[in-house]
């Protein structure tokens, strides 16, 4: 009888240890690599209309030079944009850096036709970063979703080189 009780205790303890180990284990596959992110081509009219400079994923360099030859924003300022995607759902950070007063706009691309795109505003910022730089902090992004990151000068004379750090929180 004592052997049965001892075996039951041993089995119960072993079972609890196994459950604790399983609960503490993380997915051995790890995070999805950004190289797994793919971009379908955009129609040339959409690229031209939205001044799309290229495609970027997390940790890719977003660098450009805003100039008076870029797309007009409608208020006298100019803009460039970048299509971005993420491999995993989560919180992300977009921090602009430039020598001019910049503005970031992040929009989800809901649909694309032959000549235009339907966009939904996700986030925007003007001066939350240091020295008149834009900062979009803790924005939730979904995997397998295209976003358009717009870099805009606040005023017509706000042009020059810029970069945007795109990181996961």
User: What size, in residues, is the chain?
Assistant: 169
Q: Which of 80, 40, 82 is nearest to 60 (CA)?
A: 82
Structure confidence at residue 28 (pLDDT): 41
Pick 13 or 65 by higher pLDDT. 65
Does 2 score more than 60 pLDDT?
A: no
**Each residue's pLDDT tens digit, 55-92:** 999 989 899 999 999 999 999 999 999 999 999 999 99
Structure confidence at residue 33 (pLDDT): 60
Q: Which of 119, 115, 138, 135 is nearest to 127 (CA)?
A: 135
Contact 154/85 with Cβ under 8 angstroms? no
For residues 80-107, give the mean pLDDT.
97
- CATH number of this structure's domain 34-168: 2.60.120.380
- Calpha distance 52→41 (Å, rounded): 12
Contact 146/106 with Cβ under 8 angstroms? no
Structure confidence at residue 135 (pLDDT): 98
- Calpha distance 69→112 (Å, rounded): 25
**Each residue's pLDDT tens digit, 57-67:** 998 989 999 99
Residue 32 binned pLDDT confidence (cut-offs 50, 70, 90): low
For residues 110-137, give the mean pLDDT.
96
Give 13-22's long-range contacts (Cβ < 8 A, gap of 24+).
none
For residues 21-40, give the mean pLDDT.
58
pTM across the whole model = 0.79
Contact 147/108 with Cβ under 8 angstroms? yes
Phi and psi at residue 114, to the nearest 5°: -60, -30
Contact 162/67 with Cβ under 8 angstroms? no
Residue 45 binned pLDDT confidence (cut-offs 50, 70, 90): very high
Structure confidence at residue 8 (pLDDT): 41
Look over the chain and give the mean of its residue pLDDT values, rounded to a whole number: 85
Sequence spans of domains, the chain:
34-168
Structure confidence at residue 151 (pLDDT): 98
């Amino acid at each position: 009888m004592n052997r049965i009780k001892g075996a039951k205790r041993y089995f119960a303890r072993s079972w609890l240890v196994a459950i604790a180990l399983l609960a503490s284990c993380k997915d051995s596959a790890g995070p999805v690599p950004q190289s797994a992110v793919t971009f379908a081509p955009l129609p040339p009219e959409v690229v031209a209309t939205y001044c799309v400079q290229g495609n970027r994923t997390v940790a890719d360099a977003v660098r450009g030079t805003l100039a008076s030859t870029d797309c007009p924003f409608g208020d006298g300022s100019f803009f460039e944009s970048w299509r971005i995607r993420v491999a995993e759902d989560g919180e992300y950070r977009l921090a602009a850096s430039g020598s001019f007063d910049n503005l970031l706009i992040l929009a989800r691309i809901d649909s694309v036709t032959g000549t235009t795109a339907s966009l939904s505003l996700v986030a925007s910022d003007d001066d939350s970063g240091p020295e008149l730089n834009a900062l979009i902090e803790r924005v939730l992004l979904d995997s397998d979703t295209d976003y358009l990151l717009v870099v805009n000068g606040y005023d017509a004379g706000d042009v020059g080189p810029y970069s945007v750090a795109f990181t996961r929180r």
